[in-house]
Every structure is written in structure tokens, then in C-alpha cells.
Amino acid sequence: MPIEQVTARKITHYIDYLRRRRLKPKTINCHLERIRQFYVYLSYEEQVGSANPVKEGYSLRMPKPLPKSLTEEQLETLFSQVSNKRDRAMFMLMLRSGLRVEEVANLSFAVMDLKRRLIYLRDPKWGKDRVAYVSDDAMKALFDYLKVRVASRASKVFLVEKGTYRGQPLSVRGIQKRMEYYAKKAGLEVSCHRLRHTWANQMLNADAELETVQDLLGHSWITTTQRYCRLSNQKIKKDYFKAMEVVMKRTGPLASDP
């Protein structure tokens, strides 16, 4: 086909062809970039006036791998570095209640029912309400922080403690920077999202139902939760031996001495 007749629609057909060949998005994006660069060459070096069928920045969306869960040893190492009561309370809400960093930053007293240990959350993106529960140790961390919280009329729970913006709500980036600080001190690769992911896996390992974790995470589709919460070897091993006990009771012993 003449290069002048290659259009964006033709490129779409080409992408479909590559997909049928089971090429990965990363490989397909390499093909697209080579085509785009070829047309750039034709335009600037050969003075060929054909329109580039692959626009700059156009590519297939790459699946982002989910962060791995932290082990108990890694959690102990991380939290051993967190002496600040505000920071400990924030991180405990992510680890024990599965809160997103944005939800921690926007947490206000109006959505908290501390007597019932509930937090009412609303996702502004999807308009989806959900309830998060607060564990005993997270509740203690929260109360410890509230005792020393900076005096302020701000409705948000977590506030800046020093500097020009003292008493103002702590931003999402501010929370992330605190996590980065402690991660560096602990020598670990940790993010706020990784704490939420660790919570989900811990729930599954403790035999919580997948639907329960889905609801607590605020996922609309259970397939999202299935991808988000990969079962660890610990639960797989436990499920295997539990099932095999039932099987062996039903079938009886099969091995016998020669």
C-alpha cells in the first residue's frame, strides 16, 4: 500500500491484527512508535507531505502492576520508624481500614462515628457511598493523635503541624511525602497505596469473603477486587489442606503398607 494511503483507520486495523497475534500492548506500542518515527523522517528528511497516521503520544494503555503486599516483618520495620502520632494514625487507617490516601486527606469529623467505630465515605468520582470500620489499634492511634492535634477550626482531621501552613489541612502530596520519608528511613519500598493493598490481602488471608473485601474497598466490580487482591500462598496452602481433610474423610485412606 502506498504510504500516502495509510490512515488512522488503517492503523486501527493493524492494531487489531497484532492483537490477534497475541502481541502484548508494550510490543504493539513499539510498532506504533516506529511507524510514527518513519513518517516523521519522511516529513523532515524527504520532504514527503503525507499526514502522520500515528499521532504523537498515541499508544495502547499499559496495565499497571499492583504493588506487592508488605510482610509482617516489613510492617514492623516501617512502623518502628513512625513516632509522630499524626502520621501513625494516618497510616493505621490505610492499613487497618483500607482507606485511600485521598480519603485520609479529606477525612473530616462529620463523617466519623467514633462510638460505633465507623467512617462514612463517598467517592466523588463515581458517587458511591461505603462504610469503613476502624480496628482497636487504629482507634487507639487516632485517639492518641487527637489528644495532641493542633488547635484549629478546620473540619479536616489531619493538619499541618509546622511552618506557615500550620493548622491547615494536610494535602495528599503532604501525606505521600511523609510516607516517602519513613520508607527511606526503614529502607523499604512503601507507598500509601501499598498499605491499602496489604490490608486487602490480610483480610483475605483471614478468611474474609471476597464480596466483603469488595464492599469495604469500594469496588463496583468484583473483577477489580479479584485483580487487586491476589491470594497469597498462605491462604492457598491453608485452603488446600482444609479441603484435603474433607476429601480424605469422605474417601478414606488410600495408602497401605506393602
Question: Look-up: residue for cell 493542633?
Answer: 150
Is 228 designated active site?
A: yes
Question: Look-up: residue for cell 504510504?
Answer: 3
Spatial contact of 192 and 179, defined as CB atoms under 8 Å apart:
yes
Beta strands in the chain (DSSP E): 112-113, 118-123, 128-133
Candidates 31, 68, 193, 235; catalytic one: 193
Distance, CA of 116 to CA of 131 (rounded, Å): 11
Is 196 designated active site?
A: yes
Candidates 22, 115, 125, 153; catalytic one: 125
Question: Look-up: residue for cell 487527637?
Answer: 146
- φ, ψ of residue 113 to 5 degrees: the values are -120, 85
Is 9 designated active site?
A: no
Question: Under DSSP, is residue 121 helix (H, G, I), strand (E, B) or coil?
Answer: strand
Candidates 36, 88, 196, 197; catalytic one: 196
Is 31 designated active site?
A: no
Is 125 designated active site?
A: yes
Candidates 117, 181, 228, 235; catalytic one: 228
Candidates 39, 58, 68, 100; catalytic one: 100
Query: Which residues belong to the active site?
Result: 100, 125, 193, 196, 219, 228
